[in-house]
Amino acid sequence: MSERRGSIRRQMLLMTSMVLVVVGGAALWSAHLYADRAARLSYDRLLRGAALQISENIHMLDGRVVADLPASAFDMLAMAPRDRAFYAIIDSGKRVVTGYSDLPSVPFDTLLEARDREGQFQPTLYDVDYRGEMVRFLGVAKRLIEADNAETVYIVVGQTLKARKALADEVGWFVLQFVALFFVLTLALLMLGIWRVLRPLNRLQHAIAERSPTDLQPLGNDVPREIAPLLDTLNYFMAQLQISLDRLKRFTAEAAHQIRTPLAGLHSQAQNALDEPDPEIRQRQLSHVLECSESLTRTVNQLLQHANLTHRFQSQPRVKVSLRQIATEVCRSLVIWGLDRGVELVYEGDEDVSVTGDAFALEQMIRNLVENAVKYSPAGSLVTLRLTAAGAGAELEVSDQGPGISDEEKPRVFERFYRSRNIDQPGSGLGLSIAREVAQYHGAELELYDNQPQGLVVRVRFNGEAIH
């Protein structure tokens, strides 16, 4: 539980909040820049207007500069209601005609050079600290002409920055409020959206939680496209589980039946032998009891083997195993036992084929097949184990020269505990069934063919996926 990877909801909120913060920050910053610029431009325009109006009212009269300042220029400056304003009109000899006589850093040379293409003087703006406050100044030159006289005057108008700052702050504050509102609204919408998106997952969780453990019916499919694969996998998993459960149920029933019947037989035969006065008959009956118990032991062994294999399939990881190595080992271990029965065991095949799977299970499969073949072979016959690489896959064949299996019986021999009627050999009827389960686990197909002139061929065909 502690390894949970955090909540999707929280991650989405975190990501979107980060994006919002970045976007909001950028918006605020650019609004701040814009507000400063807008305030500067608009109040610069006031300065320009005031300077222009003053400039228009400066004339030469009898060789003297006359400045009749218009009230409108001051009305214009008064539009910044809390700002101090300063002005001066200065003649070419740097003598102040009227206004403030101590304006600092008037850039006379720049004012003279600032002309447009037609030679008209252009205003120059500059900021200077004056009388304890930062002041924005605008200076512009003007050429005065009267008959033979010509004179250049400089007009300087300045204003403190209160109104500009107030305007910039107002715009900034407005934008801040807007961004904050935008942030809150977007976050609320996002939370709603995330809740809606995650709702199918919650529904799914509830649907599963409310089920009984034995209910393995597929879940409904009213989920978004992105979650559908998860649901499909879940449903597939449950279907598999259902199959396994069914199989287990059937197996248990069959196993119970298969064990109970011989046990009952054993019990009655042992009871009979106990009551039999004739020692010869009793001897025969006791040997029959022994046979029966051997047969039961085989059955139990094979059932355990089967259970063991089933457990292995569910618990052991698949590894790379060499088929050739397993096949030769099985041959080696069974060759003596075969010779005892007058059956010769032959291994054919030079190539090595590796598959991904369970070595123990494969060995059980091959052993069962070979034992079966030897068991049903007449003395002096041949059992051949052949491993061949066939295209991308591989084939493992066990062929004998025994009686074979009729075509009607072929599909049935894979059923558990099925035993051919015309066979007198002892057996549990589980061998082929186990072999086929192992083959299926490895993605291989197990098929039966008739051998020529007589006998049976069991062929295990591994397809390409399991092959290395």
Give residues in contact with another protein (CB under 8 A): 66-69, 71, 73-75, 77-78, 81-87, 89, 97-99, 131-133
Least distance from C-beta 135 to another protein, angstroms? 11
For residues 402 and 455, the answer to whether their CB atoms sit within 8 Å is: yes
CB of 50 or CB of 467, closer to another protein:
50
Least distance from C-beta 147 to another protein, angstroms? 21
Least distance from C-beta 86 to another protein, angstroms? 8
For residues 216 and 239, the answer to whether their CB atoms sit within 8 Å is: yes
- Which DSSP state fits 413? G
Least distance from C-beta 128 to another protein, angstroms? 14
Least distance from C-beta 98 to another protein, angstroms? 4
For residues 351 and 391, the answer to whether their CB atoms sit within 8 Å is: no
Least distance from C-beta 107 to another protein, angstroms? 23
CB of 51 or CB of 255, closer to another protein:
51
Least distance from C-beta 130 to another protein, angstroms? 9
CB of 87 or CB of 462, closer to another protein:
87
* Tokens 């390894």 -> residue: 3
CB of 128 or CB of 300, closer to another protein:
128
List all residues 6 or more positions away from 293 whose beta carbon is below 8 Å from its beta carbon: 266
Residues 346, 350, 356, CA angle at the centre, nearest 5°? 100
CB of 78 or CB of 189, closer to another protein:
78
CB of 74 or CB of 183, closer to another protein:
74
Q: Tally Cβ neighbours within 10 Å of residue 307.
A: 13
For residues 373 and 399, the answer to whether their CB atoms sit within 8 Å is: yes
* Tokens 């010769």 -> residue: 344
Strand locations in 70-196 (E): 85-90, 96-99, 124-130, 133-146, 149-160
CB of 106 or CB of 135, closer to another protein:
135
Half-sphere exposure of 67 (CA within 13 A, CB side): 21
Bridge-partner residues for 138, per DSSP? Answer: 125, 157
Least distance from C-beta 93 to another protein, angstroms? 16
Least distance from C-beta 180 to another protein, angstroms? 28
CA 108, chain centre distance (Å):
71
Least distance from C-beta 50 to another protein, angstroms? 10
CB of 75 or CB of 222, closer to another protein:
75
Q: How far is CA 76 from CA 42, 58, 70, 123, 135, in A?
A: 12, 18, 10, 17, 17
CB of 157 or CB of 327, closer to another protein:
157
The first and second tokens of residue 448, run together, are 């039966």
CB-based contacts of 330-339 (< 8 A; 24+ apart in sequence): 330/363, 330/366, 330/367, 330/370, 330/385, 331/370, 331/385, 333/367, 334/367, 334/370, 334/371, 334/374, 337/374, 338/374, 338/383
- Which DSSP state fits 430? -
CB of 104 or CB of 411, closer to another protein:
104
Taking the C-alpha atoms of residue 35 and residue 30, their distance in angstroms, rounded to an integer, is: 8
